[in-house]
Amino acid sequence: MRRDKYEKELLVAQLAVQRAAILTKRVFHEKAKGTVDKNDKSPVTIGDFGAQALIIAALQHNFPDDAIVAEEESAKLREDEKLRSTVWELVKDTRLDNPDAEALLGGPIRDADAMVELIDKGNSPGGAHGRIWAIDPIDGTKGFLRGGQYAVCLALMVDGDVKVGALGCPNLPVDDAARLTAGIGENQTDDDGHGVLFSAVLGHGATSRPLATVSLDPELGKPISMRAIDDLTQANFCESVEAGHSSHGDQAAISHRLGITAPSVRMDSQAKYGSIARGAGDIYLRLPVSATYQEKIWDHAAGDLIVREAGGQVTDVNGKRLDFSVGRTLANNKGVVAAPLAVHAKVLEAVQEVLSSKL
Ligand SMILES: Nc1ncnc2c1ncn2[C@@H]1O[C@H](COP(=O)(O)O)[C@@H](OP(=O)(O)O)[C@H]1O
Ligand SMILES: [Mg+2]
Ligand SMILES: [Mg+2]
Ligand SMILES: [Mg+2]
């Protein structure tokens, strides 16, 4: 079956993520320099709002009829004049260093009022019908603050199915061959050799390229694929840093059951999905800690597609594919199990054994 290549959507998504990441990187450096308070939540707040505004501006310019589900809303900006002008100062000077690319995204936002209004265009309830973009302007808030991993995430869903995904990971190595190591979750930089842009279109594979390479050619990326692994004892698995986001205990028990000897690699954000998609790691486990928490679609949409297009499978702990068609959350799913297609069933079996032994 021939599938739509979504060429323009992919190009706009890639450039929008690249432009937003220029802003998040500036905030990251200003935080390190102490220009913004590094102890409170302000760096991430400034970065979230700024990145979301820039991405929505690009989407509205190119696809004005599409709906948008984005993580942030503007209430705080409307009540805090100082925060609003700090964000605006950053947004107004953030542009791609490529005039054609910048023009494609619609150029600068008009003024601070327009910026605040754009942020609120991300309030769609989501659902199973039509074209809906999902945005996480900074995923891995804690990683961003710690100087670890974070990601700028954008995906297009059509009738509830993810068709296009782009993930900008400023602090990951550019080199696809660099295996995940324990230190990747902290003390990272976005200096030379770092910053990768993962993308995928349903039915057309997944790619990576340097985040800094701005081009109007959406096919510039190198194809990526998961590592072929038949001996699961040699697998490398990754998980959240935050113990409140997934159960480190259950994940350790699953890994033990699979005979995995390497310690888990802890890192924030959808950088986990990108990393396993390019074979830097093999398995991503996100076992629920709470019976009531519903995963948010913007935390998974791009990563789910990128892993599946790289030869992986992504399901919840019950073996169901992630269902992006039911609103702003993955209300029909519990947890995430991502692994190469050939071994996913084995991993899922271990997940279910561990979970049922707890009952
Ligand atoms: N109790 C919980 N269980 C699972 N995920 C949670 C959670 N509380 C918050 N999160 C989500 O976990 C995301 C980060 O995932 P990770 O731990 O893989 O880095 C957060 O994204 P943000 O950082 O964009 O807010 C947030 O949406
Ligand atoms: Mg997130
Ligand atoms: Mg976020
Ligand atoms: Mg958040």
For the chain, the average pLDDT equals 95
Confidence at residue 235, expressed as pLDDT on a 0 to 100 scale? 97
With a pLDDT cut of 90, the percent of the chain lying above it is 89
CATH fold for the domain made of 7-224:
Fructose-1,6-Bisphosphatase; Chain A, domain 1 (3.30.540)
Confidence at residue 227, expressed as pLDDT on a 0 to 100 scale? 96
Confidence at residue 35, expressed as pLDDT on a 0 to 100 scale? 64
Mean pLDDT of 9-16: 97
**pLDDT of 289 strictly over 90:** yes
Q: Is 176 annotated as a binding residue?
A: no
Confidence at residue 4, expressed as pLDDT on a 0 to 100 scale? 84
Confidence at residue 209, expressed as pLDDT on a 0 to 100 scale? 96
User: Three-state SS across the chain?
Assistant: CCCCCCHHHHHHHHHHHHHHHHHHHHHHHHHHHCCCCCCCCHHHHHHHHHHHHHHHHHHHHHCCCCEEEECCCCHHHHHCHHHHHHHHHHHHCCCCCCHHHHHHCCCCCCCHHHHHHHHHHHECCCCCCCEEEEEEEEECHHHHHHCCCCEEEEEEEECCEEEEEEEEEEEEECCCCCCCCHHHHCCCCCCCCEEEEEEEECCCCEEEEECCCCCCCCCCCEEECCCCCCCHHHCCEEECCCCCCCCHHHHHHHHHHCCCCCCCEECCCCHHHHHHHCCCCCEEEECCCCCCCCCEHHHCHHHHHHHHHCCEEEECCCCCECCCCCCCECCCCCCEEEEEHHHHHHHHHHHHHHHHHCC
Q: Which of 48, 66, 120, 176 is catalytic?
A: 48
User: According to CATH, what is the number of the domain 232-357?
Assistant: 3.40.190.80
Mean pLDDT of 329-354: 98
Site to probe by mutation for ligand 1, drawn from 41, 245, 267, 270 as the one with most ligand atoms within 8 Å of Cβ, is 245
What's this model's pTM, rounded to 2 decimal places? 0.97
141 tagged catalytic:
yes
**pLDDT of 1 strictly over 60:** no
Mean pLDDT of 247-275: 97
Confidence at residue 189, expressed as pLDDT on a 0 to 100 scale? 87
- Per residue in 28-71, pLDDT (tens digit) is 988 776 666 666 678 788 999 999 999 999 999 999 999 999 99
Start-end of CATH 3.30.540.10 domains in the chain: 7-224
Mean pLDDT of 299-320: 98
Residues in contact with ligand 1 (CB, 6 Å cut-off): 71, 136, 138-141, 240, 242, 244-245, 268-269, 290, 293, 296, 299
d(CA 164, CA 199): 8
Confidence at residue 169, expressed as pLDDT on a 0 to 100 scale? 98
**pLDDT of 2 strictly over 80:** no
Q: Which ligand is nearest to the CA of 146?
A: 1
Start-end of CATH 3.40.190.80 domains in the chain: 232-357
**pLDDT of 140 strictly over 70:** yes
- Per residue in 187-206, pLDDT (tens digit) is 888 888 999 999 999 999 99
